[in-house]
Amino acid sequence: MFRSMKILFGVQGTGNGHISRSRELVRKLKEDGHDVEVIISGRKEEELKEVEVFEPYRVMKGMTLVTYKGKMDYFETMLQLDLVRLMADIVTLDTKGTELIITDFDPITSMVARTRNIPSVGFGHQYAFKYDIPMGRGTFFEKQILLNFAPARYNAGLHWSHFDQPIFPPVIPATLYAHRSVTVIGKKILVYLPFEEVEDIQLFLAPFGAYEFYIYGKVHEDRDEGHLHFRGYSRAGFLADLMDCNGVVCNAGFELPGEALHLGKKLLLRPLDGQIEQQSNALGLVELGYGMAMDTLDGALLAEWLQKPCREPLLYARTVDYIAEWIGSGQWDQLSKYTDAAWADQS
């Protein structure tokens, strides 16, 4: 039986993936009549883009993962951690009337739920690793961060395959369900490597003049240099380029590869060094036969990948509809009923 609730929703602001998927679920929960209050942590407020659906929201410092030249920097990550501020935010956060906390890998709301015994749902790709799915070797420390950075009582994990586990399909932006009407440009490649330096990407792609590369990431303004097309942040522009490109070269995050698989784009992943989630994603992608992976910006591998055909679209369901239905049912211990329905729905 559905009932509306007062929900506190925590979003990890590092990168755009968490914001992208949380944007879709928050919108759906509000449409269903829930009272949703949003906390965004791990990113400065002036750096947030297209978060109007979260309003009214609050920004807290939380924790930010620091990278340099395609590699995790754990030392700098620990240096920037303000533990006193983090604990103060946890202790002073007002949760009066809150019936459920949803955390998209946000440590503040996760800790608040545990210390105040409020039911909590972990929403996002990271929560799929609670189950038996491909995982990179990594160190004990890296695995503990992945599994315990922002734990929850119930887990709405997401992945590109269910692996015979109670895991939901990826969250796909509503815009991408109109992809069948878009004509694909055969030599157009979308590149999103935000953890790499722009100069390194330029050297990597320069020899392949027969292809048109549309490059997003650490780019501040639009400019064209021959077959290299640099693009500043634009969600609408990015999704448009994603829909009509032939393939995607990106880091091994979760959201963008999921969107590419939904659309039937070929994939080449470059996982972030020292980041077990991305290493696991690259491993899973290759094991599923969904794409290729490279440990460095490898021109020989890129040349091989460019010759490969696209794959058939996976046509994932509107996952947030099933997650919202599960949340509204209050039957949080009956997860498989809703994950099975989502995988059976080929949109």
- For the chain, give the secondary structure using H, E and C: CCCCCEEEEEEECCCCHHHHHHHHHHHHHHHCCCEEEEEEECCCHHHCCCCHHHCCEEEECCCCCCEECCEECHHHHHHCCCHHHHHHHHHHCCCCCCCEEEEECCHHHHHHHHHHCCCEEEEEHHHHHHCCCCCCCCCHHHHHHHHHCCCCCEEEEECCCCCCCCCECCCCCHHHHHHHHCCCCCCEEEEECCCCCHHHHHHHHCCCCCCEEEEECCCCCCEEECCEEECCCCHHHHHHHHHHCCEEEEECCCHHHHHHHHHCCEEEEECCECCHHHHHHHHHHHHHCCCEECCCCCHHHHHHHHCCCCCCCCCCCCHHHHHHHHHHHCCCCCHHHHHHHHHHCCC
Is the fold of 6-171+317-344 the same as that of 174-306? yes
What pTM does this model have? 0.89
> What is the domain class of 6-171+317-344 according to CATH?
alpha beta
Task: Encode the chain (347 residues) as per-residue pLDDT tens digits.
Answer: 677 899 999 999 877 788 889 999 999 999 999 999 999 987 777 777 778 889 889 988 766 666 656 555 655 666 666 677 778 888 889 999 999 999 999 999 999 999 999 999 999 999 999 999 999 887 777 788 788 889 999 999 999 999 999 999 999 998 898 766 688 999 999 999 998 999 999 999 999 999 999 999 989 899 999 999 999 989 889 999 999 999 999 999 999 999 999 999 999 999 988 789 999 999 999 999 999 999 999 999 999 999 999 989 999 999 999 999 999 999 999 999 999 999 999 75
CATH of 174-306, one of 3.40.50.2000, 1.10.274.10, 3.20.20.100, 3.40.640.10: 3.40.50.2000
Q: Where are the domains positioned within the chain?
A: 6-171+317-344, 174-306
